[in-house]
Structure 1
Amino acid sequence: MSSELFDAIDYLEKEKGIDKDLLMEALEAALISAYKKNFKSATNVRVDIDETTGGMHVYARKTVVEESMDPNQEISLEDAKEVDPNYEIDDVLEVEVTPKDFGRIAAQAAKQVVTQRVREAERGVIFSEYVDREEDVMTGIIQRKDNRFTYVNLGKVEARLPVGEQMPTEEYHVHDRLKVFVTKVENTNKGPHIYVSRTHPGLLKRLFEMEVPEIYDGIVEINSVAREAGDRSKISVYAPDPEIDPVGSCVGQRGQRVQAIVNELKGEKIDIVQWSEDPVVYVSNALSPAKVVEVQVDEEEKATTVIVPDHQLSLAIGKRGQNARLAAKLTGWKIDIKSESEAIEDGTLDPNKTKEESEETYSEVDEDPFE
């Protein structure tokens, strides 16, 4: 066998990080398999490879027994002593059985082993590189589509964007550039499989982290995200420092920061509200852009009854109940919304109670505080 093979093995260890000993073990196993396959041998054999000369020898291994019953695996003590008088029962006798034309077969087997191990090593490197990107945002280019996936080139690998993770308001065209959220990285026999999403709430969270320096630096924190992808989302934010305006930080000057995210999500409406540990304040904020008269809290049931002005009822509930549904998902509280007149009529609200204004919040679509 050519010494060039061993030079290649040394190169692979240095450049590809493939362990030389593991590669040599795999090579020996492949040579044994090739010997048995090509020479119809069931004999227990061992392959000895000389890395200096490139020489290779095949040895049949037979256990020394009193009387041989299987010539392929055993040799009688009498016959073994003819080879060497020092052999005893249970010793292993080795006899060279290297075929004359085994070099060609060995070279082919070696090529297959090296190719396979290089492929496995490259897959391992790619998997290691991308497994740390789970729950992160990456930018890729759409390569192709089929009935199940849109395939996005992330550089060294094609990610799979399932139909169920695609935004209903978007059309995906080959060569389009796209930001995606990495949901799962799997290592399979066919290489790493990476699954991405455009609908995951994590995408919205990561986009805010990328767009708002105060979030990236930890000055402003994202408490929770509720999303109906392609239509509307709510995100609650908080700043430990009372001097910092978390909502304003996310909105940016003249709404530039949130607008950049809206553009990336192809017009998805985004409500940014301030988180509060007080459920009355938090639920009131979450129902933005509707104004709230009163929030009644049932701690045991983790439920709230929210009373809003009559003219704000449809706004508070939202189209097809979307605003109330997102607010409940955002806060983790059940929300039952009533109009003022209904609440007064059923005794839920004291008619003499003055109307309370909720904390100012910002909805990118419904109102612009900078106009």
Structure 2
Amino acid sequence: MSMDFIEALEEIGKEKGIGKEVLIDAIEAALISSYKRNFNTAQNVRVDINRNTGVIKVFARKSVVDEVLDPRMEISLMASRELNPNYQIDDLCEIEVTPRDFGRIAAQTAKQVVTQRIREAERGLIYNAFIDKADDIVTGIVQRQDTRNVYVDLGKVEAVLPLNELMPNEKFKHNDRVKAYITKVENTTKGPQIILSRTHPGLLKRLFELEVPEIFDGVVEIKSVAREAGQRSKIAVYSRNPEVDPVGSCVGPKGLRVQTIVNELRGEKIDIVRWSEDVEEYVANALSPSKVVSVDVREIEKMARVIVPDYQLSLAIGIKGQNARLAAKLTSWKIDIKSESQVDEVRESQNEDEQMPSDDEFVEENQ
């Protein structure tokens, strides 16, 4: 080792963001293991690297005792005082034991340690960069695919997009560009692992934030999102400024803003509804595009009973109940939908029951 070595460590430290002292401490620790392994010794040793010259020395550390039982770990008081007259019983005595050819071993060990620390530092930088992007949207290039995952290059790291996080019938080829939502960032022994999703409701929210300046600026707020990926979604929006139409802002001129998002999501239908503090109004809006006659809110059950025109019943419920299901997810209320004719039938049935005589009345009339 030499002064050039110390200067090289300083350059590496500046370039990779690793302190010189951190590297030297790591090299010293690694050299202790290398010394014990190469010279087949179990004695307690300390390795010292001179911070100015780069000179490496190895010191055996022995306890000062009256009677030596283990020469590898102990030294007599008399022998220790030949090295330094100030030694006392139970002191730790250091004796230089640097081997002649230790420089070669030290160079190899230093190279391995520095390489490992650089790799760890780079992984740490990548992890720190992406941990702040959790729950955010990223764009990457598809690299490959196996039976479980699609692997996406994000520049400094390869992210994992599980096949079960793809939308139905969605397929990607090598070099395809893909936008995805980061659901998890983990720091593993193999480096940072970033998990992506194309089905998460957060992807829809982030896409609207990218496309709608009013949302990015905070004038329009996304209150809730309900999504069945690849098929249909609902998003509830609210404007802090009464002069700004939140739904119109999200739709955009001639529908361009929402259409851009629909295209990104491969034709997924998106209903944009106005959020309201009034639960009745909010539930009615959530069932869009269906028209609603009335909404009866039951706070205790957290249920909303909705009446719709007969011709709107199938539209309100949706194919396989999808519209009603998404509206319930969006509002966090149970929704029971009835047509006007169904309600009328129930009322008529109740009226008939009220008009029918009781058993006692029937007996009295026939006595």
| TM-score for the superposition, normalised by structure 2 | 0.92
Give the C-alpha shift of residue 79 in structure 1.
2.7
Q: Which amino acid aligns with 2:159?
A: A
Counterparts in 2 of 1:101-112, with a 5 A limit? 101-112=101-112
Residues 129-164 of structure 1: per-residue CA shift (max 9 Å, x gap) = 111111111111101111221111111111111122
Aligned pair 1:116/2:116, yes or no?
Answer: yes
| Offset, 1:348 | 9.6
Partner of residue 23, structure 1: 23
Superposition map of 1:123-138 within 5 A: 123-138=123-138
Corresponding residue of 1:223? 223
Distance 2:87 2:252 in 1: 87
Give the Cα–Cα distance (whole angstroms) in 2 for the partners of residues 239 and 98 of structure 1.
74
Matched, 1:157 2:135: no
Question: What runs of 5+ residues in structure 1 fail to find an aligned partner?
Answer: 351-371
Letter in 2 for 1:231: Q
Structure 1 equivalent of residue 310 of structure 2: 310
The residue type paired with residue 226 of structure 1 is: A
Aligned partners of 1:254 and 1:73: how far apart in 2?
A: 85
CA distance in 2, matches of 1:248, 1:290: 18
From the superposition, tell whether residues 255 and 70 of structure 1 become closer, same or farther in structure 2 (CA, over 3 Å). same
Instruction: Give the secondary-structure state (helix, strand or coil) at the position aligned to 1:347.
Output: helix
For 2:257, the equivalent position in structure 1 comes to 257
TM-score w.r.t. the length of structure 1 is 0.91
CA distance in 2, matches of 1:43, 1:332: 68
Distance 2:157 2:86 in 1: 60
Greater RCO between the two (CA within 8 Å, min separation 6)? 1
Distance 1:182 1:173 in 2: 20
Counterpart secondary structure, 2:347: coil
- RMSD (Å) for aligned C-alpha atoms: 1.7
2:148 corresponds to: 148
What CA distance in whole angstroms lies between the structure 2 residues aligned with 1:272 and 1:302? 23
Question: 2 CA distance for matches of 1:47 and 1:64?
Answer: 20
- Structure 1, residues 101-147: CA drift from partner, whole Å, max 9, x if none? 11111110000110011111111111111111111111111011112
Match of 1:355 in 2: none
Match of 2:239 in 1: 239
Percent identity for Structure 1 against Structure 2: 65
- In the superposition, relative to structure 1, how do residues 338 and 56 fare at CA in structure 2: closer, same or farther (>3 Å)? same
Instruction: Answer yes or no: is 1:281 the counterpart of 2:284.
Output: no
Unaligned runs of 5+ in 2: 351-367
**Which residue number in structure 2 is paired with residue 323 of structure 1?**
323
Deviation at 1:169, TM superposition (A): 2.9
Superimposed CA distance per residue, residues 302-324 of structure 1 (whole angstroms, 9 cap, x where no aligned partner): 10111111111111111111000
- Give 2:243's aligned amino acid: E
Instruction: Decide which moves more: 89-98 or 328-337.
Output: 89-98
The answer to whether the 8 A contact 2:6-2:53 is kept is no
User: Aligned residue for 2:200?
Assistant: 200
Between the two proteins, the alignment pairs up a number of residues equal to 351
Point out the structure with max Rg over C-alpha.
Answer: 2
The structure in which a higher percent of residues are helix is 2
Matched, 1:86 2:86: yes
Q: In 2, Cα distance between the equivalents of 1:340 and 1:23?
A: 77
Structure 1 residues 80 and 294, CA gap change in structure 2 (3 angstroms): same
Distance 2:56 2:241 in 1: 73
Contact residue 340 and residue 349 of structure 1 kept, 8 A: no
Query: For the residues of structure 1 that align with 2:171 and 2:33, how far apart are their CA atoms?
Result: 52
